[in-house]
Amino acid sequence: MRVAVIATLPPHVDHRRAIIEHPRVDALRFNTISPLAVSRAETLQRLQRECAGKKLWIDLKGRQLRITKFAYLPHAYVSLSHRIAVDLPCDIHFRDGVSRVVEIVGGDKLILNRRPLRVVGEGEPVNIVHPSLRIEGVLTDGDREYIEAAVALGLHDYMLSFAEDAGDLAAVRAGDPAAVIVAKIESRRGLAFCSRAGVRLMAARDDLYVHLAETPKEYVPALAEIARIDPSAIVASRILESLEHASVPSAQDIADVELMLRLGYRTFMLSDTLCFHEESFRAAMAVLEALA
Banded model confidence at residue 92, pLDDT cuts 50, 70, 90? very high
Q: Where are the domains of the chain?
A: 4-63+137-291, 67-135
> How do residues 6-56 score in pLDDT, each as one tens digit?
999 999 999 999 999 999 999 999 999 998 889 999 999 999 999 999 999
Q: How far apart are CA 169 and CA 179, in angstroms?
A: 9
> How do residues 267-276 score in pLDDT, each as one tens digit?
999 999 999 9
Q: How far apart are CA 286 and CA 250, in angstroms?
A: 14
pLDDT of residue 74: 64
pTM of the model: 0.94
Q: Which of 124, 135, 258, 252 is nearest to 187 (CA)?
A: 135
Q: How far apart are CA 92 and CA 127, in angstroms?
A: 6
Domain at 4-63+137-291, CATH from 3.50.50.60, 3.40.50.360, 3.40.50.10890, 3.20.20.60: 3.20.20.60
